[in-house]
Amino acid sequence: MTGADSQTQRGARGRRDWSTWPHYDAAAAGFRGYWYPVAWSNHVTGKPMGVTLCGDKIALVRDQGTAYALHDRCPHRGVPLSLGRREFPGTLSCPYHGWTYDLKDGDLVAAITDGPQSPICGKARVATYPVAERLGMVWVYVPIADEDPHPIDEQLPEELVENPFVMGGRMDDRAGNWRFACENGYDEGHAKYLHRTSLWRLFKAMPTWNVTRIVPQGRWIYRKQEEQFWEADFPGLGRWTNKRWWKLSPLAAKDGGAPSNIGNTGAAAKVDPVIAAQEFPGFASVSMPGVLRIAYPNFIHYEFYVPVDADRHLYVGVMVNFLRGPATLKFYAKYLGWIRWLFHGQFSGQDAWMVDVTDAPPEQLYRPDVSLTAWRGLAEKEFKAKLAAIRKEDD
Amino acid sequence: MTGADSQTQRGARGRRDWSTWPHYDAAAAGFRGYWYPVAWSNHVTGKPMGVTLCGDKIALVRDQGTAYALHDRCPHRGVPLSLGRREFPGTLSCPYHGWTYDLKDGDLVAAITDGPQSPICGKARVATYPVAERLGMVWVYVPIADEDPHPIDEQLPEELVENPFVMGGRMDDRAGNWRFACENGYDEGHAKYLHRTSLWRLFKAMPTWNVTRIVPQGRWIYRKQEEQFWEADFPGLGRWTNKRWWKLSPLAAKDGGAPSNIGNTGAAAKVDPVIAAQEFPGFASVSMPGVLRIAYPNFIHYEFYVPVDADRHLYVGVMVNFLRGPATLKFYAKYLGWIRWLFHGQFSGQDAWMVDVTDAPPEQLYRPDVSLTAWRGLAEKEFKAKLAAIRKEDD
Amino acid sequence: MTGADSQTQRGARGRRDWSTWPHYDAAAAGFRGYWYPVAWSNHVTGKPMGVTLCGDKIALVRDQGTAYALHDRCPHRGVPLSLGRREFPGTLSCPYHGWTYDLKDGDLVAAITDGPQSPICGKARVATYPVAERLGMVWVYVPIADEDPHPIDEQLPEELVENPFVMGGRMDDRAGNWRFACENGYDEGHAKYLHRTSLWRLFKAMPTWNVTRIVPQGRWIYRKQEEQFWEADFPGLGRWTNKRWWKLSPLAAKDGGAPSNIGNTGAAAKVDPVIAAQEFPGFASVSMPGVLRIAYPNFIHYEFYVPVDADRHLYVGVMVNFLRGPATLKFYAKYLGWIRWLFHGQFSGQDAWMVDVTDAPPEQLYRPDVSLTAWRGLAEKEFKAKLAAIRKEDD
């Protein structure tokens, strides 16, 4: 052991690895058994594209309006089907020898260069993946075994299933494990320190620290701030504050530092008060398989952390406003005008930076990390139950 | 096992790995015991150059007209000799300390910085490789043990040994294993589908599929097309054809879709009819250690797939015309004018693309892959016999 | 075994691996238990920077004039502290959540986002490294266990501790193991051959070979040339010489080819004759942990080979002149005018080239490599004694 290592561990206290959450620990390439958004709907066209999800290579292609997902490997010689093209309706052909697969079930329906009576037909197939489209995105279900997927609407944030809304969003392929991204998103502490220099935060006050409680409700856990401390005197060091003279008074912030003056479109009266004020017991909530929801007074911001493989993830950030009619135009103008750049861009870029350099375990947690351990506990419990249910089905 | 994997294998039939051909399976970095072209002769000069062949690092250098090949590693400190220079005739010196090797046998004949009586002389050496020059290229023999090489002319395509000819060619260092390159070259099916979009094929018809027989003869196996089908109706899918209205009638193609109007220089009468029409029982043939021969009516195209290591190969494509006199000028003009770009360039680039993305085993073969399995069988049998002969010599 | 390998080893004689020097063999990432220069002092500022030394990631930062070094990993979530900033005097804060460490002892003195009473304070810390500044550079001590460092002045070349001097230098992050760099620097043979083409050597004669003795003295071993041979006739090959008609007569070179006309500033009378002529029993000397000293008549050149990790090293080349007063201006002009480019640049670049391609063991040594084996023996012996002393302390 080197001197540096031995000295570092001298200060170790409590758990430093993830053995408390074995399934979470094993889910480096994501939790199978869930739906994930993988591409904007209008990017999935008749020309196939390749994506990676939970380590699986997947070919996406659209045929007569419907999106399909196939395992991106022709069993003949291992060539990616996403390099191929559609020779006949409802099929996709491998670029190499024209092996042609039915998009619905993956069966080999023709081997063009072996003629219509090719004996290989009916003896080869590629795996297909369930596909759905929601929020203007193509979602793919990655199975654990060969189970049928649960309905995607059971997994979406509830308020997005039946309510009309307008939205703006951003997808970024990013370095770093999806769990670091999700933990970063739900993490209480970093917002107050890491993001203190972001432009998005320039005109908003935030506490230096607070006392937080985690409240479970249904598939979600909520972060509820019980006490807030705007400034702090650190003995022997000095005073530290997140307040700036030009920022709004902290009293103007109603919910855990949530900005009250963002998204206020004048049409705010149309926000469903049930959604905005009553149902959510807290400002920030998270659910499986890695979905963050930040309930601002006039809109909701979501982040989906999509596992590409153990080293990369797809960041999907979405702003949703439950508006109707002409007010939606204002939302789009505001989103494209500056929310997209300040929030989904520079602010979120600070997160991407940290997610890329986070390196745990080992780790040493502190009080605000109750949000991390609660999330890990939620993930562990839900996935364990899911596995048990699938095994029962098989019996 | 993931859902994708388990579903993919559901359709598996027959052999999916290469255990049927154990020597072939083991020859990821090439078959040792053969001659390989590694560089154009005029690129091998008095200034040494380094190449990799079958995973061996080799320094090439020319001295008084003769090309030599040495193991590219000075045993003193591991520095590549291809960075060195010739201080004395018939020798090559390491750039670092001037250890000087005899080009003929690799013996250390001087350690310049240790003076004429250096005791290391006669106690160190580097391996040398047999070298020959044919077709304007430097060929190197990679030994299995320390056996003497067979004569290179026993390995060259027979018609290239004694006949005069003109040629044009191209060497490309390419990604992908040499076996994928060789299998691609001899592969029956892909030409009809992959290359349907190449400019080279624009004015030539090709069948959609055909019935093929493999005919062994001497060191070669030939692909003989017994029946050709220009169009095909795939039940429930539609009709597929390689014919285009602007292409030549299929009846104009005489041999397996071989273009009859290419290479016809007006001087075609000078083509040796023995070579072009009688000796070859088929259009395409292949021999060890990875040589493809396509017999067009008026010229022959060869491809040599040279193993660099397990991940890269050197593609050597050569067009040969058995002409004499002024007709050779026409051949050069035609080769440089367009054959080089259309055939050795764009057409061959489609092959390079597929060779790079092929990923087998596992694999699942179909009827036209009889050409692949016949080639693997040929390689397996010939190499096994070669090993047996070398072991017998050692006794 | 391939043919090349078996043939290469045919010529093997004597030791070919490093098992004679087990500690040296194990020190791929450097010898811990020494001081190493890691950055120019004026590059270490209030904005932290990250370096790697002996494989350890280290954050350097300057606070109120003093340079500090911390293990570059926040134990909370593994984020590099070199990305952080100083929020309070005498501390460094992690960029992610504001964990704040005392620069002197690495103790966590505040977790900003958990308030002044954060229970984590006092329970976490990062390792610190002893830091010193000498020769305009920041030096860091890398401990073996948790021992106190020896005084840096005991490790510096003795003449640099008390004498006033002027200097010029260059730091380069280079490919290759630090041991190859050190062996190259002290290596007798390569200077005569590798560097024969350098501009630095254009006007200086050098012997073709010589007879050398290694003389130990204190912490150093000296290379003493007993006989020099300016030209050599290699039987059957020819004559080889390092002399050129335009070069100075060899007789003008006083010590092992050391250039007598370099660094002669006219103020040479001020050179301490004790240093320049009497104390050094030879031209080139080396000491642990990889320090080369070349004693030219009017100045001394040093090279420090700093282990970054097993694959890279930091080359630190320094020219020192023991001058005072206006003569120092001349030295700077000369250094910046051409020594820096010819010697620390092109000449040293040839070394960097060889260090990058050296690949040993296996190796096969020759007579002039007595300098290498003596250096390895010195390193082995000194480090073994150091380990024994540390273990004794622990008892």
Assigned domain for C3 exists: no
pLDDT digit string, tens, across residues C32-87: 999 999 999 999 999 999 999 999 999 999 999 999 999 999 999 999 999 999 99
Contact at CB, B2 and A98, closer than 8 angstroms: no
Q: Is pLDDT above 80 for C251?
A: no
C-alpha to C-alpha distance for C17 and A389, rounded to whole angstroms: 59
Name residues whose C-beta falls within 8 Å of residue B108's C-beta, 6 or more positions apart in sequence: B99, B100, B101, B102, B120, B121, B122, B123, B124, B125, C11
Mean pLDDT of C259-274: 37
Chain B closest CA to A124's CA: distance in Å?
5
Assigned domain for C25 exists: no
| pLDDT values of chain B reduced to their tens digit, one per residue, 395 residues | 333 333 333 333 467 899 999 999 999 999 999 999 999 999 999 999 999 999 999 999 999 999 999 999 999 999 999 999 999 999 999 999 999 999 999 999 999 999 999 999 999 999 999 999 999 999 999 999 999 999 999 999 999 998 888 898 999 999 999 999 999 999 988 888 988 877 766 666 788 898 989 999 999 999 988 888 988 999 999 999 877 655 554 443 333 333 332 333 333 334 454 454 445 667 899 999 999 999 887 789 999 999 999 999 999 999 998 877 787 888 888 877 777 777 777 788 899 999 999 999 999 999 999 999 999 999 999 999 999 999 887 77
Instruction: Print the domain residue range for C120.
Output: 45-142
Contact at CB, A11 and C56, closer than 8 angstroms: no
SS3 at position B130: coil
A14 or A21: whose pLDDT is higher? A21
Contact at CB, C124 and A237, closer than 8 angstroms: no
Contact at CB, C234 and B112, closer than 8 angstroms: yes
> Which of B7, B238, B367 shows the shortest C-beta gap to A118?
B367
Chain C closest CA to A148's CA: distance in Å?
37
> Which of A2, A237, A366 shows the shortest C-beta gap to C76?
A366
CB C237 within 8 A of CB B91: yes
Give me the residue label for tokens 């759905």. Answer: A132
Same domain, C290 and C375: yes
C-alpha to C-alpha distance for B246 and B262, rounded to whole angstroms: 17
Assigned domain for C284 exists: yes
Last residue of a domain, one of C115, C142, C169: C142
C-alpha to C-alpha distance for C383 and A125, rounded to whole angstroms: 64
Same domain, C188 and C218: yes
Q: Which chains touch C (3 or more CB pairs under 8 A)?
A: A, B
Q: Is A98 left (phi over 0), alpha (psi -120 to 50) or beta?
A: left
Q: In terms of Cα–Cα distance, which of C116, C181, C365 is closest to A235?
A: C116
Stretch among A28-32, B302-306, C138-142, C326-330 having the lowest mean pLDDT: C326-330
Per-residue pLDDT band for C180 (boundaries 50, 70, 90) equals very high
Mean pLDDT of A74-100: 97
Stretch among B126-130, B145-149, C253-257, C353-357 having the lowest mean pLDDT: C253-257
Q: What is the pLDDT of residue A46?
A: 97
Same domain, B166 and B121: no
Same domain, C133 and C62: yes
Q: Which chains touch A (3 or more CB pairs under 8 A)?
A: B, C
Q: Which residues of chain A make contact with C100, given a CB cutoff of 8 A?
A: 234, 237
Assigned domain for C361 exists: yes
Contact at CB, A112 and B193, closer than 8 angstroms: yes
Assigned domain for A59 exists: yes
Enter the DSSP assignment of B152: G
CB B122 within 8 A of CB B33: no
Assigned domain for C114 exists: yes
Mean pLDDT of C11-35: 87
Q: What is the pLDDT of residue C247?
A: 52
Mean pLDDT of C137-156: 97
ipTM of the complex: 0.87
Phi, psi of C214 (to 5 degrees): -100, 125
CB A102 within 8 A of CB A53: no
CA B217 to chain centre: 19
CB B106 within 8 A of CB B125: yes
- Which secondary-structure segment (H or E) carries B70? strand B66-71
Q: Is pLDDT above 70 for A258?
A: no
Same domain, A329 and A241: yes
Contact at CB, A100 and B237, closer than 8 angstroms: yes
pLDDT digit string, tens, across residues C84-119: 999 999 999 999 999 999 999 999 999 999 999 999
> Which of C79, C109, C142 shows the shortest C-beta gap to A354?
C79
Name residues whose C-beta falls within 8 Å of residue B80's C-beta, 6 or more positions apart in sequence: B50, B57, B59, B72, B73, B74, C357
Assigned domain for A25 exists: no
Q: What is the pLDDT of residue A236?
A: 92
Same domain, A130 and A166: no
Which residue on chain C is closest to B124 by alpha carbon?
C11
Q: Which residues of chain B make contact with A69, given a CB cutoff of 8 A?
A: none
SS3 at position A293: strand
Total CB pairs under 8 A between chain A and B: 137
Q: Which chains touch B (3 or more CB pairs under 8 A)?
A: A, C
Could you tell me the CATH number of the domain that includes residue C235?
A: 3.90.380.10
CA A143 to chain centre: 18
Instruction: Determine how many CB atoms are found less than 10 A away from the CB of residue B269.
Output: 8
Contact at CB, C77 and A363, closer than 8 angstroms: yes
Same domain, C255 and C128: no
A276 or C20: whose pLDDT is higher? C20
The reported pTM is 0.88
> Which of A4, A11, A238 shows the shortest C-beta gap to C88?
A238
Q: Which of C1, C237, C353 to mutate to test the interface with B (most CBs of B within 10 A)?
A: C237
Contact at CB, C359 and B77, closer than 8 angstroms: yes
pLDDT digit string, tens, across residues A37-51: 999 999 999 999 999
- Which secondary-structure segment (H or E) carries A304? strand A300-307
> Which of B3, B10, B366 shows the shortest C-beta gap to A144?
B3
Assigned domain for A66 exists: yes
Same domain, C189 and C333: yes
Contact at CB, B11 and A124, closer than 8 angstroms: yes
Whole-angstrom CA distances from A114 to A86, A110, C151, C394 are: 18, 8, 80, 78
Q: Which residues of chain A make contact with B364, given a CB cutoff of 8 A?
A: 75-76, 120, 124
Enter the DSSP assignment of C246: T
Q: Which of C34, C57, C101, C113 to mutate to test the interface with A (most CBs of A within 10 A)?
A: C113
Contact at CB, C115 and A236, closer than 8 angstroms: no
CB A239 within 8 A of CB A232: yes
CB A204 within 8 A of CB A250: no
Contact at CB, C11 and B108, closer than 8 angstroms: yes
Residue A361 is which amino acid? P
Contact at CB, C96 and A240, closer than 8 angstroms: no
Same domain, C210 and C348: yes
Same domain, B81 and B162: no
Chain C closest CA to B266's CA: distance in Å?
50
Q: Which residues of chain C make contact with B97, given a CB cutoff of 8 A?
A: 187, 189-190, 193-194, 366, 368
Residue A181 is which amino acid? A
Same domain, C220 and C332: yes
Contact at CB, A75 and B364, closer than 8 angstroms: yes
Q: What is the widest separation between alpha-carbon atoms in chain A? A: 85
pLDDT digit string, tens, across residues A300-346: 999 999 999 999 999 999 999 887 778 788 888 887 777 777 777 77
> Which of A3, A360, A366 shows the shortest C-beta gap to C114?
A366
Contact at CB, B113 and C237, closer than 8 angstroms: no
Q: How many domains does the structure of chain C reveal? A: 2
Which residue on chain C is closest to A237 by alpha carbon?
C88
CB C118 within 8 A of CB A367: yes
Could you tell me the CATH number of the domain that includes residue A87?
A: 2.102.10.10
Chain C closest CA to A279's CA: distance in Å?
28
Contact at CB, B125 and C10, closer than 8 angstroms: yes
Same domain, A300 and A201: yes
C-alpha to C-alpha distance for B51 and B30, rounded to whole angstroms: 15
C-alpha to C-alpha distance for B172 and B314, rounded to whole angstroms: 6
SS3 at position B343: helix
Q: Is pLDDT above 90 for A369?
A: yes
Q: Which residues of chain C make contact with B142, given a CB cutoff of 8 A?
A: 3
Name residues whose C-beta falls within 8 Å of residue A42's C-beta, 6 or more positions apart in sequence: A136
